[in-house]
């Protein structure tokens, strides 16, 4: 009697294992949701050349309130890729490092929730130059567009801006890249 129970348990375990193994056969890379996939990396790597530091794997640039609060982010691709950067087509803000869907939206999220402001990144794209492209903005513009309150030059706080910047980069052949988001560190 006990021998039959053990044999039945072994058969049941083998059947469960087979069902478990075959359940993963339907997964294809094309079925991945880009917004939730850590395997979704651009075919051509995009780096930040003016990186201040990496925080949790996210490149960060720095700015200073006392120095005027200008924010500059220079994105690069390797010259060995055989491609050049045509433009930054879109810029968006998000509260997390995994919100890639926000940059895929055809409405530039950088100009929301505040009304669209004039500037090269809201009305038109930012032109690239060879294998690099530079995005510039300011703390004042960030505060206006995100309806955020920033520290003043007299403050003592140093911190990161509350939102990450996402970029949609278009190459000379029309293909697009979405690099990892960039964070901005603010010093007084």
Instruction: Identify the domain containing residue 7 by its residue range.
Output: 2-31
Q: Among 76-85, 102-111, 113-122, name the most confident range.
A: 76-85
- Mean pLDDT of the chain, nearest integer: 76
65 and 141 part of one domain: yes
11 and 59 part of one domain: no
Residues 6+ away with beta carbon under 8 Å from 68: 138
Are 48 and 74 contacting, i.e. CB atoms less than 8 angstroms apart?
Answer: yes
Residue 32, pLDDT score = 43
Residue 30, pLDDT score = 47
Residue 16, pLDDT score = 66
**How many Cα atoms within 13 Å fall on the side-chain side of residue 83?**
22
Q: In which band, very low, low, confident or very high, does the pLDDT at 116 lie, cut at 50, 70 and 90?
A: very low
Query: Of the ranges 43-47, 122-126, 175-179, which one carries the lowest mean pLDDT score?
Result: 122-126
27 and 97 part of one domain: no
pTM over 0.85: no
**Whole-angstrom Cα distance, residue 57 to residue 97?**
10
8 and 92 part of one domain: no
Among 130, 41, 129, residue whose Cα is nearest residue 79: 130
- What is the mean predicted confidence (pLDDT) over 49-72? 90
Beta bridge partners of 54: 59
26 and 43 part of one domain: no
User: Which tokens is 26 given?
Assistant: 């339907």
78 and 160 part of one domain: yes
26 and 83 part of one domain: no
117 and 182 part of one domain: yes
CATH, residue 173: 2.60.40
116 and 141 part of one domain: yes
Domain count across the chain: 2
pLDDT at 31 over 90: no
**Whole-angstrom Cα distance, residue 145 to residue 155?**
22
Q: Among 31-45, 114-128, 131-145, name the most confident range.
A: 131-145
SS (H, E, C) the chain: CHHHHHHHHHHHHHHHHHHHHHHHHHCCHHHCCHHHCCCCCCCCCCEECCCCEEECCEEEEEEECCCCCEEEEEEECCHHHCCCEEEEEEEEEECCCCCCHHHHCCCCHHHCCCCCCCCCCCCCCEECECCEEEEEEEHHHHHHHHCCCCCCCCCCCCEECCCEEEEEEEECCCCEECCCCEEEEEEC
User: Which tokens is 152 given?
Assistant: 């003043």
pLDDT higher at 158 or 128: 128
């Amino acid at each position: 009697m006990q021998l039959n129970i053990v044999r039945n348990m072994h058969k049941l375990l083998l059947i469960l294992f087979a069902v478990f193994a075959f359940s993963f056969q339907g997964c294809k890379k094309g079925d991945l949701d880009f917004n939730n996939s850590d395997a979704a990396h651009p075919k051509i790597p995009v780096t930040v050349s003016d990186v201040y530091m990496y925080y949790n794997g996210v490149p960060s640039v720095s700015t200073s309130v006392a120095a005027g609060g200008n924010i500059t982010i220079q994105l690069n691709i390797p010259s060995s890729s055989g491609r050049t950067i045509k433009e930054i087509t879109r810029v968006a803000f998000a509260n997390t490092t995994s919100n890639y869907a926000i940059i895929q939206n055809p409405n530039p999220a950088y100009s929301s929730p505040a009304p669209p402001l004039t500037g090269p990144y809201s009305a038109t794209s930012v032109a690239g130059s060879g294998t690099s492209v530079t995005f510039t903005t300011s703390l004042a513009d960030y505060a206006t567009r995100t309806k955020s309150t920033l520290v003043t030059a007299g403050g003592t706080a140093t911190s990161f801006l509350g939102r990450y910047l996402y970029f949609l980069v278009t190459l000379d052949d029309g293909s697009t890249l979405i690099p990892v988001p960039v964070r901005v560190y603010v010093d007084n």
